[in-house]
Structure 1
Amino acid sequence: MEAQSLVALPIVLALELSSGEAPARITLSRDEAAELAALIAADLHGLVPQIDQARLAVAGALFDTVELLRPGFPVWATLDELAKRVPRGHLDNVVAFGTHEGHMPAQPLEPEATYADGPMRLLPLSLLAPETLAAELSESLEVELVGRGEAGARTADWLMRTLGVRLEHVRYLSRNDLLAMTCVQYEHVNLAALWTLLEAALLTPYREETALSARGLALRYAEGKISVQSPADWLRTQSSEPAQRAHDLAGILFELRQYAALLEAHHLPVSLHSEHASATGAEHGYLLEVLGTLEPAYGAPALHAHEAPGLGVVAVTLAQRGDGGRARVLVHGYPLHSKALGSLVTALAERYGIPAELHALGRIVLDADGHLAAPSHALH
């Protein structure tokens, strides 16, 4: 069976941890991975006997959903590539990859510690089947795993003993099952628009997709990237009274942070789309939109921090004092998490040659037209 004739059928072994449990480690050694692979092969044979005609590949590592559902499915792609290099017949056509001297055989198979504390751990598997068998085997797996996908008692017991955890459930899922489950989870927490974009990036990366968040922020996927409507632009479309507009903007900025964190976890870069900016920027942890140029006739610009209850600083505005003390906005910056605020302030201070001093406003400041702004009077 030549490597070129193999079709990969991605599967996952999902471990649902009991409350308060955490595995002592997130990778298995080579020998441990081989032991587990033998148990998995027996489980799958009991569900779909045709798997004996395919090659089972097992990665001895525990991942979070966000690590597996990334453009190009790099974990499965790496697992498939490594498995195809192993001569047919090796270990009865079951191949397993674990750590050697503390490292997995390829970087994509190394789980990230950042995502290691979730309640469900996922161990990636792949069946490499001949083209003539792949469609039939895939259909059988989809049916059998949904109805009878619970792992065998020996497999579950081995995992609990080896990882030192109690498990509520251990079951096999196809990648389609994992996609469907993730869709439901995101929809349940009002992130259906995020799923729309992620699904496009995963399954139809060549197509553009647009969506509207639950609070009304416009989002677009194209060419492997997500562009997000400028919060300041979104604010311009609102017509409620000022206090409500400021409150709603805080909600939009909270939502933006949610989206940015999850999209980063799924390895989808985020950029800002602005109808009114001369330039936009996306750095690690914050987004920028440039709205004006420095006017030498006016005073030196200053940095102002817009704040919202429970969220801290949600936006930073760089502005000069114009005629009559009116604020002339040059830049809006949006920290996507609290740790990015310092980097944002430093970057703007260095760019405009001013002290890295942030004037706390205690609220979100809007101008007379209801736009995001800076105070129109001198700060004391």
Structure 2
Amino acid sequence: MSSETVACPAVLALEFMPGEKPPRLTFGRDEADALAAYIADDLRALLPGVAQTRLVLAGALFDAVELLRPRFPVWAALDTLAARAPRADEAHVLAFGAHEGRMPAAALTPDAAYAEAPMRYLPWSLQAPPELAQRLGEAMETELIAKGQAGERTADLAMRLLGVRLEHARYLTRHDLLAITCVQYEHATLAALWELIEVALLSPARRHEAMSARGVTYRYADGAIEAPLPSFERWYAAAGQGIDAGERAYAWAGSLFELRQSAALLAAHHLPLRIGGETPRDGYVIEPLAAARAELGAPTLHAHEAPGLGVVAVSVAQAAPGGTHLLAHGYPLTRAALGALCEALALRYGAAPHLQRLGRIVLDADARALAVPSTAATH
């Protein structure tokens, strides 16, 4: 083959039968070689010109979020390994499997955190000279989505190697995978988030903004996604004024759920999230309000809670004559971040580390801001 090649990236999508789960996520070297040989046979029957290309395959099963990350690191690792292969190994099929449980590159090692997904993807690409790659890429986009069912031998081998039953096994281009993921995010009311992820993947130099289903504007620029600080006051000014006072706490909790969901998905896609101009490195953000007053007692920590979400905010307050003096609010982006948030607030404001549970989201008398009952602040 010519030293100048272009890769046409794709996947073999394996959908398991309900209740089935593969016991492992990687194939050994010999297993990957055998699977790649059958895949090559399938592709030669589907696509003209495949015999003049090289099939490069990773013997590992990934979730879509692991494949759809900036610069597509799994396919990039395949390209790098293929380029390093000795000339004597420049066959038409090149598969990379695990040896003693380890894949030849870190990027080709699936993360067990995503192992529960009912659909797994085996990444591969066809490498060809530029002109052939262009024709082949166009053919892949039309032929695979229409006729890309994996051959019986290929599907049978995958099932025997993994010891599970398959509902479907079919070939998809990377663009097909992007389109499928787009539909999934739209069904989960995360269409705006997907817009930003897609820009980050396909046009990383662009700037883009999108409004979420909850009316929050997210922005993409310079490789990161920006969200506003999830403070109740900011939310009230932007979206809460038209909501009945009795429903505002519930509506705000919904926006926090959306933020948590977005933060988790962006982390899975390896896209940085900045909130209020800062990157929440430990899974929480803090909203400073005021300095502590020396004449008042030690600050205390108070947990605002919402059904199904647990603690959604922690307020730091000092008891003051006739009420409370609020110093800050903190927002955990995951349940696991609550402990670290409380430690950070206690250290920053000299508060007692004990967290007082309010049992609900407490608002001020006008339902325009988070509050701490004066009786709670004195406990």
TM bin, normalised by shorter chain, reads over 0.9
Secondary structure of residue in 2 paired with 1:28? coil
Residue 193 (structure 2) aligns with: 194
CA–CA distance in structure 2, aligned partners of residues 351 and 253 of structure 1: 24
Instruction: Specify whether residues 271 and 329 from structure 1 end up closer, same or farther in structure 2 by C-alpha distance, changes over 3 A only.
Output: farther
**What residue number does 1:269 align with?**
272
Mark the runs of 5 or more structure 2 residues left unpaired by the alignment. Answer: none
- In structure 1, the gaps of 5 or more residues are 275-279
Whole-Å Cα distance in 1 between the matches of residues 220 and 348 of structure 2? Answer: 30
Q: Check the 8 A contact 2:273/2:279 in 1, yes or no.
A: no
Distance in 2 (alpha carbons) for counterparts of 1:281 and 1:179:
27
What amino acid is the match of 2:100?
Answer: E
The reply on whether 1:96 has 2:95 as its aligned counterpart is yes
**Residue 350 of structure 1, aligned match among 347, 351, 361:** 347
RMSD between aligned residues: 1.6
Question: What is the CA distance between 1:333 and its match in structure 2?
Answer: 1.4
Residues 51 and 281 from structure 1, CA distance in 2 versus in 1: closer, same or farther, beyond 3 angstroms?
closer
Determine the structure 2 residue equivalent to 1:370: 367
How far did residue 54 of structure 1 move?
1.5
| Offset of residue 372 of structure 1 | 3.3
Equivalents in 1 of 2:322, 2:226: separation in Å?
35
SS of 1:378's partner is helix
Question: Structure 2 length as normaliser, TM-score?
Answer: 0.94
Stretches of 4+ moved more than 6 A in 1? none
Matched residue of 1:253: which SS?
A: helix
Distance verdict in 2 for CA 1:333–1:2, change over 3 Å: farther
Q: Secondary structure at the match of 1:181?
A: helix
Question: How far is the alpha carbon of 1:89 from its aligned partner?
Answer: 6.1
1:296 matched to 2:297? The reply is no
User: Given the superposition, is the C-alpha separation of residues 372 and 219 from structure 1 closer, same or farther in structure 2, using an over 3 Å criterion?
Assistant: same
Query: What amino acid does structure 1 have at the position aligned with 2:199?
Result: A
Q: Hey, what's the Cα distance between the residues in 1 that align with 2:104 and 2:196?
A: 32
The residue number in structure 1 matching 2:236 is 235
Aligned position for 1:212: 211
Counterpart-to-counterpart distance in 2, 1:268 and 1:325: 46
Give 1:49 shift: 2.9
SS in 2 for 1:252: helix
Task: Identify the residue that residue 176 of structure 1 maps to in structure 2.
Answer: 175
Supply the AA of the counterpart residue of 2:263. Answer: A
Tell me what 1:249 maps to. Answer: 252
Report the alpha carbon displacement of residue 343 of structure 1 after superposing the two structures with TM. 1.3
In structure 2, what is the Cα distance between the partners aligned to 1:87 and 1:79? Answer: 14
Instruction: Go from structure 1 to structure 2 and tell me whether the alpha carbon gap of 1:214 and 1:304 turns closer, same or farther (over 3 Å shift).
Output: same
The residue identity in structure 1 corresponding to 2:194 is: W
Identical-residue share of aligned pairs (%): 57
Match of 1:277 in 2: none
Shift of 1:92: 3.0
Conservation of the 8 A alpha-carbon contact between 1:56 and 1:125: yes
- Could you tell me how far apart the structure 2 residues matched to 1:372 and 1:119 are? 42
Tell me the matched-pair count.
373
Q: Is the 8 A contact 1:271 1:287 kept in 2?
A: no
Q: Which residue of 1 aligns with 2:12?
A: 13
